[in-house]
Amino acid sequence: MPRVGEDLRQYLQAEAMPHVWCPGCGHGQVARGLATALDRLALPLEQLVLVGGIGCSGRTPFYFNANAMHTTHGRALAFATGLKLTRPGLTVITTMGDGDTAAIGGNHFIHACRRNIDITAIVFNNGIYGMTGGQQAPTTPRGARSVTTPLGSIEPAFDIVQLALAAGATYVARSTTFDFDELPTLIVDAVRHPGFAVVEVLTQCPTYYGRLNELGDAVAMLDYERDLTLPQHAITKEGLAGRRPLGVFRREVAPEYTAQYAELCARQAKAS
Amino acid sequence: MKLIQGNEACALGAMQAGCRFFAGYPITPATEIMEWMARLLPPEHGVFIQMEDEIAALAAVIGASWGGAKAMTATSGPGFSLMQEHVGYAAMTETPCVIVDSQRGGPSTGLPTLPAQGDVMQARWGSHGDRAAIVLTASTVRDVYEVTVAAFNLSETYRLPVVLLLDATLSHMRENVELPALPVVNRCPPSGADFQPFAGPGFQAFGDGPPIVVTGLAHAASGRPRASDGPNLDRMLRRSIARIEEADDVRRYRGTALEDAEHLILAYGITARSAAGAVELLRREGVRAGLLELQTLWPFPERLVRDLAEQVEDVVVAELNLGQLVLPVRAAVGGAAPVRHLGRADGTLFSPEEIAAAVHTAGDREVARA
């Protein structure tokens, strides 16, 4: 639980307010989760770089008092990879949307998972393209409406956790904006993990996804998130029954990219 | 003296210039640059990484540059097309970096192993929107080395992505060369208590000072987005373009037999070598021909071309495309002299004889219009 009276303002950039997010948007809750995590991690903010993609989630770095790199659509991880390799001492966290991660940046995402470079990817998944006005995303569930699937989507959705697991990410977790007290714990975990870490957060978009699919307001959508998911410890012998599991799916220590690269350089320098 | 390939000269030039980060994706005919960087960087504690595609390669280069490293990528036409998104990002974020494009026949997969000069306009205008662009080229293995160093120096001085255009022949050609140490320009450090990351040459990498903001959105000198402030962006672009237009160290060229020339041949890259041969042939015949070899294609040296055109009877522009650099040449020359274009897109170099023949007929108005 966030502590009562906890002051997270020191992590936020007042100059960048007001933010672009709609009333009721879940992204503010994810940002709060990140700020709480930063408070617990006690990192020097000048040694932290938040790298954003494009879309509502991509704006997140602007609102923090850390270094912010707002990149291109889908490619935050490719920028972050070059930066982290050059400055392994920096803490690098990407904020990307579901379109960033699984559509236009799908290639960068799977390769970042495969390389196991020490970057934390926070994936804001609201199942829709918010900034451009409610188009179908690769995470839009089959049957769901968007402005480009007015009759309901006929495509199966990507499961970002499964995608990350299959591609080799060494830390993979999922949470929701309903589980706001668990999210900072997962982010702290992910940042401390010595390798590539993915935290998918299901977040509500009442403006588009909620309205187009008649899910009600932001509070009603939080209930919808609760009913759509199941913490792993609550899974019974009946199984998931169509719900999405939450929690940590993998935490595995494997050779990390920048550490391996440093070893390789040291070996070559010694040989010559 | 060392017998080396154009692509190796490029890698050695990059190392000389202080390049300590390379990200790339394999592509003919540029791949050897990447292979050399994979060998040369680790002993210097520089970073080499093979990325998942060219889009990611240039993104990683830009990320590395903001980590404080001099950074480069190398590709050919198809990869250069993919990189255009981040050429624009590097321009908008004033990121020093070098992009080498060893040109091959296009469009699309085209003629993968054959030379071309078809990316001249893409190098200038390939990314959407307006921007300042520095595009260099070279015609010998020795020049590749020197111009690669110049590309880094200009990129650091002006905080711009600098494009170096090679071609399939020059990349794979071997020549005996000397590779001297050349002057190297390093990044201007941040200065002053009220330092703004986008107010001038001063550059602060991530982690080297207070937090900074970098964005591809239009932004203020502080780096904070100004995404609806059109006049601010217009001012910023004009300032950036004017800076290189007015600079005296950007436009590189080489003149041969220009003093008494009556016929001007304008060529660049590998074609300049055929053109130099043509000047020799013509001079032997008593025809006063001279060669202007451009090493900087953009910003285009309008005044230089105009001044030379006023001294000659006609101008021949030879290039391995169907009419690209001839466009700014015609604009610069105006009515001062007829301009004949000699172009081809068949993956073949011009022979000196072909260029000499074009000079013989250049004054013919019928031909000049064709």
Residue B32 and residue B8 in contact, taking contact as beta carbons nearer than 8 Å? yes
Q: What is the pLDDT of residues A131-169, one digit of tens each?
A: 999 999 999 999 999 999 999 999 999 999 999 999 999
User: How much is the average pLDDT of B197-207?
Assistant: 96
ipTM above 0.95, yes or no: yes
**Mean predicted confidence (pLDDT) in A1-21:** 83
When mean pLDDT is compared across A81-95, B6-20, B328-342, B351-365, the lowest value belongs to B351-365
pLDDT bucket at B26, cuts 50 / 70 / 90: very high
Neighboring chain B residues of A86 at a CB cutoff of 8 Å: 20-21, 47, 63-64, 67-69, 71
Is B217 touching A (CB cutoff 8 A)? yes
Distances in whole angstroms, Cα of residue B299 to Cα of each of A19, A187, B134: 40, 48, 6
CA distance A153 to A146: 8
Q: Which of A160, A120, A112 is nearest to A34 (CA)?
A: A120
- pLDDT tops 80 at residue B368: no
The predicted pLDDT at position A3 comes to 58
Residues B147-165, mean pLDDT to the nearest whole number: 98
Q: For residue A272, what is the nearest residue in chain B, using CA coordinates?
A: B43
The tokens 């290639």 sit on which residue?
A107
A81, A115 contact by CB (below 8 A): yes
Query: How far is B171 from chain A, CA to nearest CA, in Å?
Result: 26
Q: What is the pLDDT confidence band of residue B337, given thresholds at 50, 70 and 90?
A: very high
Binning pLDDT at 50, 70 and 90, where does residue B366 land? very low
Q: Which H/E stretch holds residue A205?
A: none
Q: What is the pLDDT of residue B149?
A: 98
- Determine the length of chain B: 370
Q: What is the pLDDT of residue B224?
A: 97
B67 to A83: CB separation less than 8 angstroms, yes or no? yes
For A208, the 3-state DSSP assignment is: helix
Instruction: Supply the pLDDT for residue B362.
Output: 79
Picking from A65, A80, A265, the nearest residue to B42 by CB comes out as A265
DSSP states of A137-181: -TTSPTT--BTTBTT---SPPP-HHHHHHHHT-SEEEEEESTTTT
Query: Which of A79, A115, A265, A268 should we substitute to test contact with B (largest number of B Cβ atoms within 10 Å)?
Result: A79
Comparing alpha-carbon positions, the chain B residue that sits nearest to A49 is: B206
Percent of chain B with pLDDT over 90: 96
Mean pLDDT of chain A: 96
Q: How confident is the model at residue B234 (pLDDT cuts 50, 70, 90)?
A: very high
pLDDT confidence of residue B297: 98
> How is residue B85 written in tokens?
């998104």
Among B19, B316, B314, B292, smallest CA distance to B150 is for: B19
Secondary structure of residue B342 in the 3-state scheme: strand
pLDDT of residue A5: 56
Q: How many CA atoms lie within 13 A of B245 on its CB side?
A: 10
**Which residue intervals of chain B are DSSP H helices?**
6-17, 31-40, 54-65, 77-92, 120-125, 141-158, 168-172, 230-245, 271-284, 302-311, 326-333, 352-361, 365-369
* E strand or H helix at A258: helix A257-271
Average the pLDDT over A5-13 and give the result. Answer: 86
A20 in contact with B at a CB cutoff of 8 Å? no
CA B8/CA A132 separation, integer angstroms: 46
Biggest CA–CA distance in chain B, Å, is 67
- How far apart are alpha carbons A55 and A72 in whole angstroms? 9
Contact status, residue B315 vs residue B340, Cβ threshold 8 Å = yes
d(CA A210, nearest CA chain B) in Å: 28
What six digits make up the tokens of A269?
């320098």
pLDDT of residue A272: 74
Query: pLDDT (tens digit, 9 = 90+) per residue, B32-67?
Result: 999 999 999 999 999 999 999 999 999 999 999 999
- Check residue A55 and give left, alpha or beta (phi > 0: left; psi -120 to 50: alpha): left
pLDDT over 80 at B190, yes or no = yes
pLDDT cut 70: percent of chain B above it:
98
Q: Cα angle vertex A106, ends A101, A112, to 5°? A: 85
Asked whether the beta carbons of residue B216 and residue A70 sit closer than 8 angstroms, the reply is yes
The model's confidence at residue A2, banded by pLDDT at 50, 70 and 90, is low
On the question of pLDDT at B365 being above 60, the answer is no
Record: contact A78-B215, CB cut-off 8 A: no
What pLDDT shows up at residue B369?
46
Residues on chain A touching B64 (C-beta within 8 angstroms)? 82-83, 85-86
In terms of C-beta density within 10 A (0-12 exposed, 13-18 middle, 19 or more buried), how is residue B310 classed?
exposed
CB-based contacts of B244, cutoff 8 Å, min separation 6? B132, B134, B158, B160, B250, B299
pLDDT at B195 over 80: yes
DSSP B30-65: THHHHHHHHHHTGGGT-EEEE-SSHHHHHHHHHHHH
Residues contacting B157, CB < 8 A, separation 6+: B185, B201, B249
A80 to B63: CB separation less than 8 angstroms, yes or no: yes
Strand B97-105 and strand A67-70: the pairing is unpaired
> From the candidates A15, A38, A83, which should be mutated to test the interface with B, based on the most B CB atoms within 10 A?
A83
- pLDDT confidence of residue B205: 98
What's the mean per-residue pLDDT of chain B?
Answer: 96
pLDDT digits (tens, 9 = 90+) for A201-228: 999 999 999 999 999 999 999 999 999 9
Give the helix/strand (H/E) hosting B363.
Answer: none
Confidence of residue B370 (pLDDT cuts 50, 70, 90): very low
Interface of A with B in 88-107 (CB under 8 A): 89-90, 107
pTM (two decimals) = 0.97
Q: Would you state the pLDDT for residue A9? A: 92
pLDDT score for B192: 87
Q: How far is B210 from chain A (nearest CA, A)?
A: 6
pLDDT the model gives residue A104: 98
Q: Which residues pair with B296 in a beta bridge?
A: B136
pLDDT score of A19 more than 50: yes
Give tens-digit pLDDT for A81-125.
999 999 999 999 999 999 999 999 999 999 999 999 999 999 999
Return the pLDDT at B364. 64
Q: Please give the structure tokens belonging to residue A217.
A: 């307001």
Q: Which of A148, A90, A99 is nearest to A117 (CA)?
A: A90
**Interchain CB distance below 8 Å, A72 and B60:** no
